[in-house]
Amino acid sequence: MLKRSVVSALLAAMAFGALASPALAKTKIPPWRQTPPLNIAHQGGEDEFPSNTMFAFREALRAGAEMLELDIGVTKDNKVIVMHDTTVDSKTNSTGLVSELTLAQIRKLDGAYWFSKSAPNYDRNKAASAYLYRGIATGKRKPPKGYKASDFRVPTLEEVLRAFPKTPINIEIKGRTKEEKEAEYVYNAGVLGNLLKNNKRKDLIVVSFRQAAVDRFHEVAPQVPLAPGSSPLIGYFLENKSLGEGVVAVQVPMTYLFNGARIDVLNPAWVAKTHADGLAWHSWFDGPDVDGPEGWTKLVQRCVDGIMTSRPKALEGFLKKNRSPSACAVK
């Protein structure tokens, strides 16, 4: 995914009419190239289901999602867990840094504690009845039919991979967000790499905002497909530089605010270049980008290969009724 602080130079050039450079030699079409675009459940579809839980992943796939997107962190005892934030504060019934808690401590938490189905979905100022799945993880309430308490806790990545052996999964490496904390991204990447270095699956993509983390992961587990961090994208789009070994997809937001103007990142020339190079284009939502029919229509028309949505059930209904232009067909 493309970081805000790095993308400004890229979009500045675009704003002044920079053209995409000549495409590299065409390669075999990868499985990530899809028409219509892949329905990718971001955090398992965090607006429709409790973020990054096994319940969310199963429900998203049942609703029509074809790929899962999730985030990983590393516990105090070096276990890889699935959680978007570097703390457990916003999603669970506790507080603290993931890196300072053991897996045993995290397993006791309620991963669906703050989820509600009405926006804002994780707001803390609603009536207790709004938090539909609160208490299931801790045994205070019965789970829905077909599920168990553990489906509402914070899962490990190993548990997710075992549960969905044939489902494509996008794995984002997380770490502390301040610049001086890049070392945590790199450390987490190494732990993840050691977990996946003997994994033979070809339907995983590993990504991070920080290219240093992507590089470290690739060093340890070179067989796992990648999406690049922020920094290589400038050279790729403007100077035709390589994105490096193992890259199979570009993952970017729809738009970016630059000097008061909202710039369209979905530059058709950039999308075409990416496709000509045999890579997929996956879009996610940021700022005012609309994760709904307005935004989805634009993405389909621009021939993206995957839509990372917080609403996989709603997106599936949209894709069934809205066809991609014939020009988008993968060739």
Taking the C-alpha atoms of residue 180 and residue 199, their distance in angstroms, rounded to an integer, is: 31
Whole-model pTM: value is 0.91
Q: Residue 110: inside a domain, yes or no?
A: no
Q: Residue 134: inside a domain, yes or no?
A: no
Answer whether 222's CB lies under 8 Å from 193's CB: no
Taking the C-alpha atoms of residue 233 and residue 20, their distance in angstroms, rounded to an integer, is: 12
Residue 165: give its domain's CATH number. 3.20.20.190
Q: Residue 82: inside a domain, yes or no?
A: yes
Taking the C-alpha atoms of residue 226 and residue 170, their distance in angstroms, rounded to an integer, is: 9
The tens-digit pLDDT sequence of the chain (331 residues) is 555 444 455 444 444 333 333 333 334 556 789 899 999 999 999 999 999 999 999 999 999 999 999 999 999 999 999 999 999 999 999 999 999 999 999 999 999 999 999 999 999 999 999 999 999 999 999 999 999 999 999 999 999 999 999 999 999 999 986 665 789 999 999 999 999 999 999 999 999 999 999 999 999 999 999 999 988 988 898 899 999 999 999 999 998 776 788 878 898 999 999 999 999 999 999 888 899 999 999 999 999 999 999 999 999 999 999 999 999 998 7
Q: Residue 327: inside a domain, yes or no?
A: no
Residue 100: what pLDDT? Answer: 96
**Total domains, the chain:** 1
Q: Residue 133: inside a domain, yes or no?
A: no
Taking the C-alpha atoms of residue 116 and residue 261, their distance in angstroms, rounded to an integer, is: 34
Residues 1-15 as b/e (b if ≥16 CB within 10 A, e otherwise) read bbbeebbbebbeebe
Q: Residue 34: inside a domain, yes or no?
A: yes
Q: Residue 11: inside a domain, yes or no?
A: yes
Q: Residue 120: inside a domain, yes or no?
A: no
Write out the residue range of the structural domain in which residue 239 sits: 4-87+155-321
